[in-house]
A and B are shown apart, each in its own frame.
Chain A
Amino acid sequence: AQSVTQPDIHITVSEGASLELRCNYSYGATPYLFWYVQSPGQGLQLLLKYFSGDTLVQGIKGFEAEFKRSQSSFNLRKPSVHWSDAAEYFCAVGAGAGGTSYGKLTFGQGTILTVHP
């Protein structure tokens, strides 16, 4: 069975500082990996996804993530954090090489990001 671990429950950074959110996954085949962001009481917005090709993936809002198969990691990064980035971030892995199981996502526990001015 697939699983996702986000080791950091809560991270605090200063505005303008760099950010790295960690994500480790467990999956027997080629993983399909996602990062979503959720503001309080809001839905899930897709930041970026990886399913093949270049291991460095660019997303929206200046975020990027790097897939490292040897470390089973898919860490999210941003060079300079803005106050509006404060939210909860979820890493997720999708099952199956296409097909309906692809959307059967397993989420990590989430990392809450606080940004200090």
Chain B
Amino acid sequence: AAGVIQSPRHLIKEKRETATLKCYPIPRHDTVYWYQQGPGQDPQFLISFYEKMQSDKGSIPDRFSAQQFSDYHSELNMSSLELGDSALYFCASRQLSGNTIYFGEGSWLTVV
């Protein structure tokens, strides 16, 4: 069965650079969630989208932005990267009418 696809899986950037992470939800899933998991930490909710509109916002820095496109894939854009942004970024998807949330494998971002 198709799963949530995230790319790239690994990314290394320097401080003050910009990074973009992509998420391709499971087909027919209309809701996407982004989470950030720092080293040794639990995942923290960043932001979510339903039908291309932002639906909820969590602890997402102002330097970060995200959007969901017409094909339901989502992109998380991170600017002015800081060392503390180094983390595993998860995307999850769900069909609004369903109750199971599926997580991708995550994208590892390392800021040096």
Contact = CB atoms under 8 A, between A and B. Distances in A.
Interface in B30-64: 31, 33, 35, 42-45, 48, 50, 55-56, 58
B89 to A, nearest CB: 11
Nearest to A52: B99
Interface in A70-111: 90, 94, 98-110
Contact of A44 (B31, B56, B90, B108): B90
A109 B58 contact: no
A52 B12 CA distance: 43
Nearest to A95: B56
Contacts, number: 62
Interface of A: 32, 34, 36, 41-46, 49, 51, 90, 94, 98-110
A112 to B, nearest CB: 10
A101 B56 contact: yes
Interface residues of B, number: 25
Interface of A, secondary structure class, is mixed
Contacts of A107: 42-44
Contacts of A36: 103
Contacts of B44: 107
B42 A100 contact: no
Contacts of A101: 55-56
B105 A100 contact: no
Contact of A104 (B56, B100, B102): B56
